[in-house]
Structure 1
Amino acid sequence: RSSLITGCYANRVGISGALVPSSKIGLDSEELTIAEVVKPLGYATACFGKWHLGHRRPFLPRQHGFDEYSGIPYSNDMWPGHPESPKAWPPLPWYENDEPSEIIKDLEGQEQITRRLTEKAVDFVHRNADGPFLLYLPHSMPHVPLGVGPRFRQTTRYGTYGDVIREIDASVGEIRAALEEEGVLDRTIFIFASDNGPWLSYGDHAGTTGGLREGKGTTFEGGIRVPLVVRYPGVVPAGSVCAEPCMTIDILPTLVELTGGKAPQKPIDGRSIVSLLRGEADASSPHEALFFWYRNVELQAMRMGRWKLHFPHNYRSLEGRAPGNNGIPAKYNYKMSVGLALYDLETDAAETTDCSDENPDVVARMKTLADRMRQKLGDTLTRTQGSEIRGPGRLPSG
């Protein structure tokens, strides 16, 4: 989320891993967000959904350029209904702007979240259609525990997870219909994406990787490769498909180029992908390489064009184990490991065959790029301190 909001790798802005209710840090006020990029142009801005960049008042959305906020401040499983550690979590609050307005006490409350966020989003569109606006809608679903509204319950062949996805699909449709009703649909940049792959330990309460290796919580393709759908007539050709790699860090600079918004003065990592969106004949990824950190700033993998290089690290896996069922997760094997391994994603998207021995020059170039990035943004696997890490926002001492 910090990457999408700021255009930076998360460790550059000091956000490493998922913040929890006891966290006393959040996104620093000096970081420019997607909302602050367009505010100088007169945009109305709103965030409805899961924020998860700090729930203390100085870190909430209205302190980062959003005029309105409604939703939950962190993950919806961080509550007393957690299937494995219910006593570890406080009650789950629902926020209106800067203050918690109520407590989501039970699954019935979770079942209303998608509907409530959709209604907020549709209302915002209707109230602001006469001028420019930016709406950021990070749905909490399909994160567990799954909650689906009565209208969508038992409406698919894929159980509760399928029903949740159908409700999210309907949410997107309602927002699109509101834009169309107001006559601004074809003047709106419509971006839909996911944050990570499926949480495989939850079995039938998770999705599928479609044959990609591993899932959420790893830097294999099953954990990090997600869909990106963009609609913007006159810029994005209808029905076009792009296979060039990009990241959520690229959203902010892309919006800067498309809107003429305020560019960050501090260094960021994202690059505009407007040429890719336009489908220009020779357009390619604006990055020579993309980098994947996990856990506590572990640089576990990187991608350079068709090539994916994993550095030696441990990871979790369900290999050989039955997945969870009905909201109760299975236990991962946390002792899995991978050595230095190169994969050709054009021919081996499932990352099954290490081809590093056959491509020593590719490995050498990628290792050089990785060393440069470690010097900037750190890597605990090699005990490298990054010189460009800015750090998170912190509550005043005392």
Structure 2
Amino acid sequence: MNRTVTSKKILFLFFLVGIQGLLLGQEKPPNVIVIFVDDLGYGDLSSFGHPTIRTPHIDQMAQEGVKLTQFYVGASICTPSRAALLTGRLPIRSGMAGSKNSGNVLYPRSTGGLPQSEKTIAEAVKEKNYTTGIIGKWHLGHLPEYLPLNHGFDYYFGIPYSNDMLPPRYKKAPKLPLYENEEIIEHDPNQKLLTKRYTEKAIDFIEANRDNPFFLYYPNNFPHTPLHVSDDFENRSKRGLYGDVVEEIDWSVGEILKTLKDLNIDENTFVVFTSDNGPWLKRGKKGGSAGLLYEGKASTYEGGFRVPAVVRWPGKIPANQTFDAITTAMDLYPTILNLMGSPLPDDLTLDGVDLMPLLSGEKKKVNDVVYYYLRDELYAIRKGSWKAHFITKPSYSKEKPKIHKTPKLFNIDVDPSEKYEIGEHHPEIIEEIKDIYKEHQKTIKPVKSQLDLGY
């Protein structure tokens, strides 16, 4: 009898060990953090060539991961760029691009926002039991039905639009609201403390969800103007106030990465750092730099659409790599959903592709076409090395858009500053890109422009 009981106990122990082995063999779903700063230019990080702004934590992130040198956003200005990131779709498809009759972005008087028909990353991953949070700038609609908690986020702390959308610049605007979830908890918060408060809230969110998979979207309001920085970082940068602000953002990134390491979830967290568009050159010293790229925010030149990007996932993505392949913010949508095992929506046209084959070193490229929209008009297309401008216009200029009967052609790989127009030598390339233009237009269906509502 005792021998039988002992045998059963041994078998039961083997069963437990076997189950434990199976559980250990199953990889825990990865956490994801997307840090999406505002108006940071391609040349504003030391790892991307800035001579005086010091960004050691982002630089370290690049050394421990991948630096993407040809990363493009879905639009060169706030609202449509954010819509593209969170939906994986060009803003022209969701009604978030704007029109000739609207502004470039949503304003405090606007009554539109990201339609409920769109499925955000947050909504998709919640189906896989992820906890979702946003800390920072939303800018996809400030009316209740458009706020983050109605687009898949469990927690929200931040400002619903840009930090300059307040009186006296916007005479009829209310005092700048700071939200926690669906409640305005402060009016006109001290912007000098915003980055510190955002960092604290981000760390609180990570710590609270250390044992459960989470998606954290951290769109800091800065370095969009007006610039504000805490006393700890004031007058520290040789680049002046703008540099101070960027260096405090770098500190914030460092605190988040340190938290991941302290909690032993570092190797199970996929982290992305990038910007919503190029620098606001109109702001002079208070704006950033696109480095060698031409133009900036609100333009369809490289300086408006190409932004710095760094991706880090220890043990899964090879360290200290620089990839020159074309990638886009819209690629993050399918990449993140695939990482989490969430199916891609089959009723919506996606404009991104999964980046993991590239990031893991399996493939050299995953995409080679970029569409440059300004509001609802397609101004330019890049195919591989070649970029054709069908329409050109300087940013923030009263100059009318110039339509080119023969598109202006540039080789972006050798001429990122777009100085040397060489279309006459490559008519076959122009024809190829014209064909891409025609085929792309067939995929665009008319939708209501949300940026026109209340403008």
State the TM-score, normalizing by the size of structure 1.
Answer: 0.87
Map of 1:279 onto structure 2:
361
Separation in structure 1 between the aligned mates of residue 364 and residue 116 of structure 2, nearest angstrom = 35
- 1:310 pairs, out of 378, 389, 394, with 389
Partner of 2:107: 20
Question: Which residue does 1:57 correspond to in 2?
Answer: 144
Query: Residue 180 of structure 2 aligns to which amino acid in structure 1?
Result: E
Q: CA RMSD in A?
A: 1.9
Q: Structure 1 residue 390: deviation in Å? A: 7.1
Separation (CA, whole Å) in 2 of partners of 1:257 and 1:316: 36
- Residues 138-217 of structure 1 aligned to structure 2 (within 5 Å): 138-217=219-298
Among 429, 439, 444, the alignment partner of 1:362 is 429
Q: Distance in 1 between matches of 2:450 and 2:127?
A: 24
Change in 2 beyond 3 A, CA 1:88/1:222: farther
Within 5 Å, give how 1:240-389 maps onto structure 2: 240-265=321-346, 266-280=348-362, 282-286=363-367, 288-295=368-375, 297-316=376-395, 332=397, 334-335=399-400, 337=402, 339=404, 340-377=407-444, 387=445, 389=447
For 1:195 and 1:120, the matched residues in 2 are separated by 21
Give the alignment partner of residue 35 of structure 1, picking from 119, 122, 135: 122
Q: Distance in 1 between matches of 2:83 and 2:138?
A: 10
Residue equivalent to 2:160: 73
Quote the residue 2:100 is aligned against.
none
Amino acid at match of 2:272: I
TM-score (norm 2): 0.76
Distance across 2 between alignment mates of 1:393 and 1:128: 35
Task: Give the secondary structure class of the aligned counterpart of 1:189.
Answer: strand
CA contact (8 A) 1:28 1:394 kept: no
On the 8 A contact 1:316/1:334 being kept in 2, the answer is: no
Larger RCO (alpha carbons 8 Å, 6+ apart) = 2
Q: How much does 1:313 deviate?
A: 3.4
Q: What count of residue pairs does the alignment treat as equivalent?
A: 363
Post-superposition shift, 1:91? 1.6
The one-letter code of the counterpart of 1:292 is Y
Cα 1:346–1:313 change in 2 (3 A) is closer
- Structure of larger gyration radius: 2
Q: Is the 8 A contact 1:55 1:73 kept in 2?
A: yes
- Deviating beyond 3 angstroms after TM superposition, the runs of 4 or more aligned structure 1 residues are 332-339, 388-395
The partner residue of 1:9 within 77, 90, 100 is 90
Distance 1:68 1:134 in 2: 11
SS in 2 for 1:238: coil
1:315–1:337 contact (8 Å) kept in structure 2: no
**Cα separation, partners in 2 of 1:300 and 1:223, compared to 1, 3 Å:** same
| In 2: Cα distance, 1:91 partner to 1:121 partner | 24
Retained in 2: the 8 A contact 1:316–1:336?
no
How far 1:95 moved relative to its partner? 0.8
Q: Against the structure 1 CA distance between its residues 88 and 316, is the aligned structure 2 distance closer, same or farther, given a 3 Å change threshold?
A: farther
Q: Pick closer, same or farther for the CA change 1:338–1:212 going to 2, 3 Å.
A: farther
Mapped to 1, the partners of 2:207 and 2:168 lie a distance apart of 36
Cα offset, 1:115, TM superposition: 1.1
Question: Per the alignment, in what secondary structure is the counterpart of residue 393 of structure 2?
Answer: strand
SS at match of 1:87: coil
Matches of 2:166 and 2:448 in 1, distance apart? 31
1:91 to 163, 172, 175: 175
SS at match of 1:276: helix
State how far apart, in whole Å, the 2-side matches of 1:298 and 1:391 are.
13
Q: Matches of 1:44 and 1:121 in 2, distance apart? A: 13
The residue that corresponds to 1:238 in the other structure is 319
Match of 2:301 in 1: 220
**Aligned-partner Cα distance in 2 for 1:131–1:80:** 42
Give SS of 2:321's match: coil
1:290 maps to a residue whose letter is: V
**Over residues 196-228 of structure 1, what are the superposed CA-to-partner deviations in whole Å (9 max), with x where a residue is unaligned?**
111011111111111211111101011111011
1:259 deviation in Å? 1.6
CA 1:66/1:394 → structure 2, altered by over 3 Å: closer, same or farther? farther
Deviations 1:242-266 (A, max 9, x none): 1111111111101112221232232
For residue 63 of structure 1, report the CA deviation from its aligned partner. Answer: 0.7
CA distance in structure 1 between the partners assigned to 2:114 and 2:410 by the alignment: 34
Q: Secondary structure at 1:112's aligned position in 2?
A: helix
- Is the 8 Å Cα contact of residues 155 and 163 (structure 1) preserved in structure 2? yes
1:73-131 Cα offsets, whole Å, 9 max, x none, are 0011111153xxx42533211111112221116xxx11111111111000001110011
User: Which residue identity is paired with 1:192?
Assistant: F
1:100 aligns to 2:179 (yes or no) = no
Whether contact under 8 Å (1:76, 1:92) holds in the other structure is yes
Q: Show structure 2 runs of 5+ residues with no match.
A: 1-81, 98-103
Distance 1:207 1:392 in 2: 29
**How far, CA to CA, are the matches of 1:393 and 1:131 in structure 2?**
37
The answer as to whether partners of 1:33 and 1:65 remain within 8 angstroms in 2 is yes
Q: Give the aligned residue type for 2:385.
A: R
SS in 2 for 1:312: strand
